[in-house]
Amino acid sequence: MWNTYYQKTETVDEVIREIEFGRGQSQLFDLGLGGQEERKYNSPDELEVDTLDFLRALKPYEVRLQPYFMTDDDYRNENYFYIEDYVERIFVGAKSSGGDNTFNHNSPISNDIESYLFTFPEIEERFVYAIRIHLHGDIRGNYSPYMIFSLSCEEYFDAVYEASRKVEFEVRGFSGKITISQMEEEIRVEYEDEERKLDFYMCAESVNEVVERVEEELKELVGGEVDGKADE
């Protein structure tokens, strides 16, 4: 007998609206020693990729699916709960390559992403990508429903590149560039003046930290003081 148990998915637009609604809410963050600061929830920090930009870059590859209805036996076996079972039933020939979470890699992204990748042995250039977005609270829960995408490796990395964030800064009258990618725990820093060129990776939470590091690198090269400031 069929019943109304199913694996729920949502569209990109629905999840974006849910995240944007959450960002309209304020939350008090504990700063320690009795201090608190009010911030908008889940808004990207100064050196983070905005998850919404990544979702918008993936949107052209979205697959709209009807809920998958299952039998009572399926429900009792909890098959409806697992996204891997769901995708492999919907997409004939799809095989799961396992799941991951950006939280496990300290990815610089505003909302962590849990993802599952599915390949097709007979179609090497295509795969199915199932993701859900962490909305708030404990990382072990509080996720959006899954979204499903069908795309190639090239299209996936194009979406990652499109969502990457670039921030400019200034040291000693010359501009530098910070590139933040969700694929890298560290950010890339590029700076060049009339005589020197710097290109390195580092972990940082603010532009000022980057400016200080560039100043240190230049002092080692020229042995002098360097004035730096971050662009607003």
User: Could you report the per-residue pLDDT of 159-195, keeping only the tens digit for each?
Assistant: 999 999 999 999 999 999 999 999 999 999 999 999 8
Q: What is the pLDDT of residue 68?
A: 58
Q: What is the pLDDT of residue 222?
A: 65
Q: What is the pLDDT of residue 221?
A: 79
Domain that holds residue 198: 165-229
Q: What is the pLDDT of residue 8?
A: 62
Q: What is the pLDDT of residue 147?
A: 93
Q: What is the pLDDT of residue 55?
A: 96
Q: What is the pLDDT of residue 21?
A: 84
Tell me: do 81 and 153 sit in the same domain. Answer: yes
Tell me: do 96 and 186 sit in the same domain. Answer: no
Tell me: do 10 and 116 sit in the same domain. Answer: yes
Tell me: do 22 and 48 sit in the same domain. Answer: yes
If we measure between CA atoms, which residue out of 61, 40, 31, 176 comes closest to residue 130? 61
Q: Which residues of the chain have pLDDT under 50?
A: 1-6, 79-80, 224-232
Q: At what angle do helices 51-58 and 153-163 cross, to 10 degrees?
A: 140
Pick from 148, 163, 178: which residue ends a domain?
163
Tell me: do 150 and 201 sit in the same domain. Answer: no
- What amino acid is encoded at 6 in this protein? Y
* Total number of domains constituting the chain: 2
Pick from 111, 143, 163: which residue ends a domain?
163
Tokens representing residue 152 in the block:
């190639």
Tell me: do 28 and 72 sit in the same domain. Answer: yes
Give the integer Cα–Cα distance in Å for 203 and 58: 27
Q: What is the pLDDT of residue 45?
A: 87
